[in-house]
Amino acid sequence: MLLSVRDLHKSYRASGERLAVLRGVNLTLSAGESVALTGESGSGKSTLLHLIAGLDAADSGEIVLDGDVISAMSDSERAALRRDRLGLVFQQFNLIPSLPVADNLAFQARIAGLFDAAWQIELVERLGLGDLLDRYPEQLSGGQQQRVAIGRALAIKPAVLLADEPTGNLDEKTADDVLRLARDLVRRTSCAFLMVTHSARLASTMNRQVHLSEGLIA
């Protein structure tokens, strides 16, 4: 077991009232496993992903990554975790506009001190980016930008790849192509892959599906 989420609770205050979003979530992921997280809008899927990524803190419960308790880390420790061990991909591509594709791909790996030139070359080849390395994000299609974002996330060979609706801005064929590449590269690195999606079709392509409803995983 690579990632373990145990009895996780999270609530927010809205209009003077406290709204419980997660009510005791339990989830495990193994190395090399791809898991789709589904649920209605507002069910807490993104909240759970943000807690695992250390972008927010839970009210109670525990998140453990390969023996390290994320939920007990300081802000700086969680930032280091995101830099060195987690790959994050979102619906918005979040590429750096002033950097060409080659530098966007290498950005996280370089700041983490984990840049691997041979792995960078393999990512470029597998993602079909060889002719685009000198282009800037604004010169790319949505599918091309998302391939760059996935490559950037995988350049550090993360322990876990977390993706929040990564194909939400793409047409169906491009979404299928991008997700297939992501699954192939995840298998290549043996990291765990957790993807939030509203698409039952895309969820069915993952190893396992879990459903979040009323703050609990069914």
Predicted structure pTM score: 0.94
What pLDDT shows up at residue 14? 82
pLDDT in tens, 7-44: 999 999 888 888 999 999 999 999 999 999 999 988 99
pLDDT at 137: 97
Work out the pLDDT band at 57, boundaries 50, 70, 90.
very high
Burial grade of 134 (CB within 10 A; 0-12, 13-18, 19 or more): exposed
Write out pLDDT tens, residues 203-214.
999 999 999 999
Structural domains of the chain ordered from first start: 3-217 (3.40.50.300)
